[in-house]
Chain A
Amino acid sequence: MTNNQSNDFVVIKAVEDGVNVIGLTRGTDTRFHHSEKLDKGEVMICQFTEHTSAIKVRGEALIQTANGEMKSEAKK
C-alpha cells in the first residue's frame, strides 16, 4: 500500500479467552497467512498492509475501527 493512512488500523480487545485474529492475504487468492491468539483482556492493534487486506476475528471481542465500534460474538 503506497498511501498508508494513519486510520488504516483496527483495535481488537478480547472479551474471552482464546479469541483468534486471522489475517487474509491481499491479491487474487485470499489465504489465511497469519493468526494470533488473544486471551481475555489482551489487545491487538492491526494494520492493513501490502500483505494483509482483510482481518477475521473469531470469538467474543470488542473491535474499534475508523468506521466505529462493534462486538464480535462467541459461537453458540
Chain B
Amino acid sequence: MVITTDDLETTCPNCKGSGKEDRLPCPKCSGKGVILTGQGNTLLHFIKKHLHE
C-alpha cells in the first residue's frame, strides 16, 4: 500500500497553504497551512505514541 501526501493532508483552501491571512495565522487551519486527514492523524498519533520507546 502506498500513501501519498494528499492522503495525509489537504492544502488549506482559505490561505492556499501559506498559513497566513492578512499577516496573521490563518483562522481556518490555525496557521498550519494544511488540514490533516483521518489517515494523517492516525499516522501522526501512532508515531507520537511510539517515538520515544
Please report A residues at the B interface, Cβ cutoff 8 Å.
18, 20, 22, 29-37, 56, 58
Given known A18-B6, A22-B10, contact A34–B37 (CB-CB < 8 A): yes
Is the CB–CB distance between A29 and B10 below 8 Å?
no
A33 to B38: give the CA distance in the assembly, Å.
10
A20 to B29: give the CA distance in the assembly, Å.
15
Interface centre among A22, A35, A36, A58 (most CB of B within 10 A): A35
Give the residue name and chain of the A residue nearest to B41 (CB): A34
A35 to B7: give the CA distance in the assembly, Å.
9
Q: Which 4 A-B pairs have the closest CB atoms?
A: A35-B10, A35-B35, A32-B35, A32-B28
